[in-house]
A and B are shown apart, each in its own frame.
Chain A
Amino acid sequence: MNFSTAAKYQFHDGKKSLIVFGIVMASLLVIFIAICLIVMVWIDVPGSSVDLGEATDVDIWQYMQFLEVTSVIFLAVFGMCSYKENFLMMTQNGVSRKTIFLSRAAVFGEAAALVFAGCVVFYYLTMIVLKIISSINGEKYLFRLAFWQPGTNPISSSLEMIIVFIAVMFVGYFITVLFYRMNKAGKIAVPIALLILLNTVPIVDSMLNDGRILTIAGNIISWAASTPINGIIFDLIIIAVFGCASWLIMRRAPVKRVN
């Protein structure tokens, strides 16, 4: 079955970067723990009169947001990687573009699940370390994942996290497919056009339009961020939009001749 082999191949291709990411995050965990130890054990000596003020009930999650942020950035890049190479290799092996796309989507699902699992492991390990430190220190430390906010259902939050990961990969994929299809002129024109748009639209909008577009955009984002379900819906729409766009661009992509 061609689809599973295509998925296997594309996953195998991305495995290396996932492993590197895992190692980097693990090392960051170790560094973080070391920093915590330094900050909390040696600087905040138990029983000392050093008053860290608001920092006593340290809400570490804000320092930890980097975990999700880096995951998102990594996955965006992951989505962008190796499109051309994979496309060519699988074309050589008789895989249709349809199967390439669908198996790629499956790989996105796998990668999202893996990164999510990694984040969860990271979280629990950090919690354990913090518990150990707090039992030494007597302080109480909180650590939260950006998605696992208090009062939210952990299942829907987890789902939201995974879907955000997938959405981000599709955005990356769309960009890379677009660039594969574009000729030189397009590759210059599109980034410039995008830059111009992103810089002028907000200004023009706030000056001439009472900032209506910005307000709508802001409302959409805060709606999406308000509850996990909203977030899931929002990101599923992103997946649909960028996924379809990627497919439409790549379904007729020719294998470009180098001679």
Chain B
Amino acid sequence: MLEVKNLCKTYRRNEALTDANIRFEENKIYGLLGRNGAGKTTLLDCITGRIFPTSGESLLDGEPTIENDAALSQIYLMAEQTLFPESMRVADVMKWTKNFYPSFDMQYAQTISKEFGLDPRRKVKELSTGYSSILKCVVSLSVNTKYVIFDEPVLGLDANHRELFYTLLLKKYAETPFTAIISTHLIDEVANLIEDVIIIDNGHVMTQQPCEELLASGYSVSGKAADVDAFIQGRNVLSADQIGGLKTACIMEKPDRSQIPPELEISKLDLQKLFVQMTNTKESV
């Protein structure tokens, strides 16, 4: 298990991360969600020792991860920033990754590179934003460490490539389970892939729970504005949107079918909507 305890990171006057307590179990797909600047990347950088936390600890099976080669060999972080040398060719990037991570599957990497259309002879600096991401996706899908962290993996990828990435990720996970941590602000896309969700807002971990549980904690009703208003009276309403006469409200209670009038349509909470509501409230303060 990869665990983060009371992790804090403060830059001069800015508390980028406050008291983060998170557990990443083996063989699960986690979604790490947060707005831009919420602290996701800071958290991931602290776990892997790319930056040093101000306080708190990051542990892999009880051992600190920072400056620990053995622990780091089990965690692969694919960051937004490309750290590969600019003049290195794609094929060499993979060769060296294999040297550092013996579990790297070169054949698989070559196969999926072809699927993505990634040219192994290209130099890193010659790759477009999209293909830079693709290179990183290919490497992180092939590395086969126990924990693979994808920080904004599909930045700059077109729709086809995004779908290919998710398909490959799910296939790999289904065949050889590992722990995947996907940090992203493209919530809609990952909503059905992830098992557990961790939401970070303003440096604070707002929640960590199974996605299903979070979404089951409420429901959404829509219908004529008047009907909806009548229904939501006295209930724990998270949000309400209205377009013309049609209103949709999110209610944070367990749905009781019998209570819901037939003129209202009930549906599942939408992760993205829920996320937006949860993280908007801070701003309006």
**Across the two chains, which residue of chain B brings its CB closest to A4?**
B99
**Across the two chains, which residue of chain A brings its CB closest to B49?**
A96
Q: Which residues of chain B come closer than 8 Å to A89, judged between CB atoms?
A: 83-85, 88, 96
CB <8 Å contact, A255 and B51: yes
A8 at the interface (CB under 8 A from B): yes
Interface residues on B, range: 20 to 34
User: When the two chains form the complex, which single residue of A85, A254, A258 contacts B50, counting CB atoms closer than 8 Å?
Assistant: A254
**Across the two chains, which residue of chain B brings its CB closest to A96?**
B67
CB <8 Å contact, B99 and A5: yes
What's the dominant secondary structure at chain B's contact region? loop
Given A88-B83, A255-B45, also A2-B52 (CB < 8 A):
no
Q: Which residues of chain A come closer than 8 Å to B96, judged between CB atoms?
A: 9, 89, 93
- Of B23-31, B72-80, B229-237, B258-266, the one contacting chain A is B72-80
Q: Which residues of chain A come closer than 8 Å to B88, judged between CB atoms?
A: 89
User: When the two chains form the complex, which single residue of B83, B85, B100, B101 contacts A255, counting CB atoms closer than 8 Å?
Assistant: B83
CB <8 Å contact, A93 and B81: no
Q: Which residues of chain A come closer than 8 Å to B217, judged between CB atoms?
A: none
Instruction: Please give the distance in Å from A12's CB to the nearest CB on chain B.
Output: 9
CB <8 Å contact, B81 and A258: yes
User: When the two chains form the complex, which single residue of A85, A92, A95, A259 contacts B69, counting CB atoms closer than 8 Å?
Assistant: A95
A252 at the interface (CB under 8 A from B): yes
B279 at the interface (CB under 8 A from A): no
A212 at the interface (CB under 8 A from B): no
**Across the two chains, which residue of chain A brings its CB closest to B79?**
A92
CB <8 Å contact, A95 and B72: yes
A254 to B41 CA separation, bound complex (whole angstroms) = 13
Instruction: Please give the distance in Å from B88's CB to the nearest CB on chain A.
Output: 8
User: When the two chains form the complex, which single residue of A2, A98, A259 contacts B80, counting CB atoms closer than 8 Å?
Assistant: A259
A91 at the interface (CB under 8 A from B): yes
Given A5-B99, A91-B83, also A99-B51 (CB < 8 A):
no
**Residue tally, chain A, CB below 8 Å to B:** 23
B21 at the interface (CB under 8 A from A): no
Instruction: Please give the distance in Å from A84's CB to the nearest CB on chain B.
Output: 10
CB <8 Å contact, B50 and A2: no
CB <8 Å contact, B83 and A2: no
B277 at the interface (CB under 8 A from A): no
**Across the two chains, which residue of chain A brings its CB closest to B45?**
A255
Instruction: Please give the distance in Å from A2's CB to the nearest CB on chain B.
Output: 5
CB <8 Å contact, A95 and B85: no
Scoring A93, A99, A255 by chain B CB atoms within 10 A of each residue's CB, the highest score goes to: A93
A94 at the interface (CB under 8 A from B): yes
Q: Which B53-88 residues have a C-beta within 8 angstroms of A? A: 67-69, 72-73, 75-77, 79-81, 83-86, 88
Given A254-B51, A254-B52, A258-B81, also A9-B72 (CB < 8 A):
no
Chain A 221-259, CB-CB to B under 8 Å as 1, else 0, gives: 000000000000000000000000000000010110111
CB <8 Å contact, A95 and B100: yes
A181 at the interface (CB under 8 A from B): no
CB <8 Å contact, B99 and A8: yes
B113 at the interface (CB under 8 A from A): no
**Across the two chains, which residue of chain B brings its CB closest to A254?**
B51
Instruction: Please give the distance in Å from A51's CB to the nearest CB on chain B.
Output: 56
* Residues of A in contact with B (beta carbons under 8 Å apart): 2-3, 5, 8-9, 85, 88-89, 91-99, 252, 254-255, 257-259
Q: List 5 A-B contacts (CB under 8 A).
A: A2-B73, A85-B86, A89-B96, A254-B50, A255-B50
User: Given contacts A93-B97, A94-B72, could you give 7 more A-B pairs where the C-beta distance is less than 8 Å?
Assistant: A89-B88, A94-B69, A94-B100, A98-B67, A254-B50, A255-B81, A257-B41
